[in-house]
Amino acid sequence: MEPRKRPEYVLEVLADPTCVKDIVRGILHTIFFHRYFPSMRPSSLEVLDLTLPVVADPELETLIETRVGQLVRQLSSTSSPSGGSRGELGVRFFEKRRRKAGGLGGWLTGTGRSEEEICWEVWKLKITLTTPRTETERMTLLRAEAPALQKTAMTIVKIVNRDKEHIPPITTSETNPFPYEILLNPRAEYDGKSMGFFS
């Protein structure tokens, strides 16, 4: 059986320092709202007069807050004299599969794991932080952010409604059948789960 091709979706985000945290949080929650399969009570977040969905899961919310905080600190520390900087967040969703039997498996390597995690979907958020130099630039950017955020949210909705064939079947009764991770600057990180992530 030929392995499924893992889709990768890229979302470009432009934000100013006062809104970047809320914009990125809103986008991440929108992705997870459509890819988080345990039963949940829907909640919402107001960002730039837009109402976005929120997954009210303490573990996920903590992870999102941590990664967004790391991103904002990185963007703030690398801001150029022209008033801009870039960062990237990657979101990966995995399915757990039983390892194929063969040989001594994890016995010799000491891993002893009978399951492996295979990435089935990747989202890249490429964030550009823009610091306006004048009040006119600031007002222009603020007027552009809400429509851009709405367009990004609608892009996510279109993608998740269109692309469903690659989602693996739920084969477990665990609360969350698909593990996930959020990485800051994912090109620089390799966690051993899946070769070629963002290559």
- Amino acid 21: pLDDT: 96
What gap in Å lies between CA 119 and CA 121, rounded to an integer? 6
- Amino acid 197: pLDDT: 37
Q: What is the mean pLDDT of each run of 10 residues along the chain (199 residues)?
A: 74 93 96 84 90 92 96 84 82 83 53 76 94 90 93 96 86 76 74 39
Smallest CA-to-CA distance from 65 within 41, 93, 49, 89 is with 89
Residues 6+ apart with CB under 8 A from 3: none
Count of C-beta atoms within a 10 Å radius of residue 65: 13
Q: State both tokens at 34.
A: 């459509």
Q: What is the β-pairing status of strands 50-55 and 8-15?
A: unpaired
- Amino acid 74: pLDDT: 92
- Please report, in angstroms and rounded to a whole number, the separation of the first and last CA atoms in the chain: 24
Q: State both tokens at 25.
A: 């949080």
- Amino acid 32: pLDDT: 93
Assessment of whether the complete model's pTM goes beyond 0.85: no
- Amino acid 176: pLDDT: 75
- Amino acid 82: pLDDT: 61
Count of C-beta atoms within a 10 Å radius of residue 71: 22
Q: State both tokens at 170.
A: 């739920």
